[in-house]
């Protein structure tokens, strides 16, 4: 056998590991990333220096002050050193130590590789964001959060599996989207908090002050021009840096595992885990669209039109943001980065093992009910007609029909008398019913998730004979 090619490849790669966590080019690239981070933070240090803010030390440190700029300068210096370490150690990847430690990988994966924890963490994070919105919306805190998430991304890139999933060309825009959505949410809270403070003092919102008319040329057309140039430049650079994906030619007999819808529909595909296609793929998307169109006609609150505010529209903004962030964006992230072969959930540092097994013993509500009573499921004699079967099927699924009926018909009435009393009075019957059903439909997804995780519930109503499973 000719062993020469093997030896030379061993020499050039430095390792026989087929999935190396770090290679010279990875380390070198990360060095550049840290250098960019360093430059960003130098600019921020400069800004802090000119703002001249201080941080007060607690009493036991004798109550001194530290200039914010000093903290950022120290941090920038560390980034510079880290960048230098990368550039100087790039040639010896096997002994490179500045990587994501294994215990941290295990800890992160333990959380994200389980849909339950993932959903719990995103939801709790969302609630914390709302509660601590005043604290979070400070520029220095925002900058620190941006740096933390960028550092997490950068150091995670030292993992082979992480690079595979995040570096896929079609997934790059999703990573960017997370930062962009985070940034604009921060901008929203920054402006909303300012207006809420003003409102408490009886002053008008920022948008109502210094609001003279200006000429569209040049004040608006120049902004548009700059935006157009920036977007064009971005697209060209992006096009040069990343090649559009092109896989093997289409083959109807070779099903990839996993088969994924385009990324913006992965939230809907994720719903398929909990609901059947007729709901997750047809009814719920239609309800989402119809519900969004209905928003202007059910929101009777006259406040908060034309300016950023949170306090004037607490319910509307919380509901919408919950739908947009943990449910829509959160499920896209789950579908894109965490769903692997056989639609199992994998950690971000976990190898996509086709043979990973997850036991799924899901039980229908009817089975819980009838077996709980110690009875068999009501079943028509084998081979009987449709009209003979129907009463048996309806009896079998009666608990589910009652539950759904209670949820969509009785619950709105109960809420109208209690938590949504004000809404009911202001909205009138029709509008209130549309509103409450939309809210309940939106809550149906997280509710089914919780039931699935808590008691392995498969369907509330299970009539596979008629393709009618809820």
Give yes or no for residue 214 binding another protein (CB under 8 A): yes
Asked if residue 259 binds another protein (CB under 8 A), the reply is: yes
CB of 205 to another protein, least distance (A): 6
Site string for another protein, 226-255 (x = CB under 8 A): -xx--xx-xxx-xxx-xxxxxxxxxxx-xx
How many residues line the site for another protein (CB under 8 A)? 95
Q: Which of 92, 164, 216, 384 is the binder for another protein (CB under 8 A)?
A: 216
Distances (CA, A) of 231 to 162, 206, 226: 28, 28, 9
What residues have CB less than 8 Å from 297, skipping those under 6 apart?
431
- Give the residue with the Cβ less far from another protein, 94 or 247: 247
Nearer to another protein, 95 or 305 (CB): 305
Q: Determine contact, residues 23/93, Cβ cutoff 8 Å.
A: yes
- Exactly one of 5, 52, 58, 296 binds another protein (CB under 8 A); that residue is 296
Min. distance of Cβ 289 from another protein in angstroms?
6
Tokens of 39: 């430059």
Burial of residue 395 (number of CB atoms within 10 Å: 0-12, 13-18, 19+): middle
CB of 70 to another protein, least distance (A): 29
For position 277 contacting another protein by CB under 8 A, the verdict is: yes
| Closer of 78 and 292 to another protein (Cβ) | 292
Q: How far is CA 46 from CA 81, 174, 310, 366, 394, in A?
A: 19, 31, 32, 66, 71
Contact 379, 140 (CB under 8 A): no
* Residues 336-395 interacting with another protein (rule: CB under 8 A): none
Q: Which residue has the tokens 């393709």?
A: 467
Cα–chain center distance at 208: 34
Shortest reach from residue 203's CB to another protein, in Å: 12
Residue identified by tokens 């549309």 is 434
Residue 112 or 317 with smaller CB distance to another protein: 317
Task: Output Rg (C-alpha) for the chain, integer angstroms.
Answer: 28
CB of 40 to another protein, least distance (A): 20
CA–CA gap between residue 357 and residue 360 (Å, rounded): 9
Q: Which is nearer to another protein, 100 or 268 (CB)?
A: 268
Binding mask 155-194 for another protein (x = CB under 8 A): ---------------x--x--xx--xx--x--xx--xx--
The stretch among 35-43, 123-131, 262-270, 361-369 that binds another protein (CB under 8 A) is 262-270
Q: How far is the CB of 223 from another protein (least distance, A)?
A: 7
Residue 245 three-state SS: coil
3-state secondary structure 337-363: HHECHHHCECCCCCCCCCCCCCCCCCE
Q: Which is nearer to another protein, 111 or 295 (CB)?
A: 295
In the complex, minimum distance from the CB of residue 303 to another protein, in angstroms, rounded to a whole number: 8
Phi and psi dihedrals of 23, rounded to 5? -125, 165
C-alpha–C-alpha distance, residues 101 and 111, integer Å? 16
| Residue 124 touching another protein (CB under 8 A) | no
For residues 445-464, which are near another protein according to CB under 8 A? 463
Query: What is the smallest separation between the CB atom of 104 and another protein, expressed in angstroms?
Result: 30
Least Cβ distance, residue 453 to another protein (angstroms): 24
Restricted to residues 47-86, the positions that interact with another protein (CB under 8 A) are none
3-state secondary structure of 66: strand
Of 220 and 455, the one with the shorter C-beta distance to another protein is 220
Contacts (CB under 8 A) with another protein, residues 302-321 = 302-309, 313, 316-317, 320
The DSSP-derived string for 76-137 is HHHHHHHHHHHHHHTT-GGG---S--HHHHHHHHHHHTSHHHHHHHHHHHHHHHHHTHHHHT
Q: What is the spatial distance between Cα 8 and Cα 44, in angstroms, rounded to a whole number?
A: 47
Of 35, 130, 175, 261, the one binding another protein by CB under 8 A: 261
């Amino acid at each position: 056998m000719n062993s020469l090619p093997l030896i030379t490849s061993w020499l050039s790669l430095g390792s026989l590991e087929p999935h190396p966590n770090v290679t010279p080019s990875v380390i070198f690239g990360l060095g550049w990333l840290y250098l960019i981070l360093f430059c960003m933070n130098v600019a921020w240090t400069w800004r802090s220096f000119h703002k001249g803010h201080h941080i007060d030390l607690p009493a036991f440190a004798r109550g001194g002050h530290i200039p914010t700029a000093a903290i950022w300068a120290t941090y920038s210096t560390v980034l510079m050193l880290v960048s230098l370490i990368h550039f100087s150690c790039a040639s010896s990847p096997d002994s490179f130590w500045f990587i994501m430690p294994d215990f941290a990988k295990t800890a992160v994966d333990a959380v994200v590789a389980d849909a339950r924890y993932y959903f719990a963490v995103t939801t709790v994070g969302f609630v914390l964001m709302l509660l601590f919105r005043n604290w979070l919306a400070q520029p220095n805190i925002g900058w620190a959060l941006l740096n933390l998430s960028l550092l997490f991304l950068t150091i995670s890139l030292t993992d082979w599996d992480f690079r595979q999933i995040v570096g896929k060309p079609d997934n790059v825009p999703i990573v960017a989207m997370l930062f962009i959505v985070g940034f604009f949410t921060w901008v929203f809270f920054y402006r909303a908090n300012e207006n809420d403070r003003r409102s408490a003092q009886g002053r008008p919102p920022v948008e109502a002050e210094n609001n003279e008319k200006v000429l569209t040329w040049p004040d608006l057309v120049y902004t548009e021009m700059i935006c157009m140039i920036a977007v064009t430049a971005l697209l060209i650079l992006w096009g040069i840096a990343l090649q559009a994906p092109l896989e093997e030619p289409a083959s109807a007999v070779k099903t990839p595992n996993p088969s994924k819808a385009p990324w913006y529909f992965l939230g809907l595909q994720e719903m398929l885990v909990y609901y059947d296609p007729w709901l997750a793929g047809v009814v719920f998307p239609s309800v989402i669209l119809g519900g969004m169109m209905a928003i202007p006609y059910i929101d009777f609150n006259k406040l908060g039109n034309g300016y950023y505010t949170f306090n004037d529209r607490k319910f509307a903004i919380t509901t919408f943001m919950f739908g947009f962030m943990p449910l829509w964006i959160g499920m896209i992230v789950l579908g894109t980065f965490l769903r692997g072969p056989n639609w199992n959930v994998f950690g971000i540092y976990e190898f996509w093992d086709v043979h990973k097994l997850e036991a799924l013993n899901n039980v229908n509500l009817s089975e819980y009910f009838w077996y709980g009573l110690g009875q068999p499921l009501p079943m028509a004699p084998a081979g009987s007609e449709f009209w003979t079967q129907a009463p048996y099927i309806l009896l079998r699924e009666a608990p589910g029909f009652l539950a759904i009926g209670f949820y969509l018909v009785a619950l709105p009435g109960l809420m109208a008398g209690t938590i949504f009393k004000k809404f009911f009075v202001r909205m009138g019957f029709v509008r209130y019913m549309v509103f409450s059903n939309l809210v309940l439909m939106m809550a149906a997804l997280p509710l089914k998730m919780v039931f699935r995780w808590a008691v392995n519930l498969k369907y509330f109503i299970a009539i596979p004979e008629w393709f009618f499973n809820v």
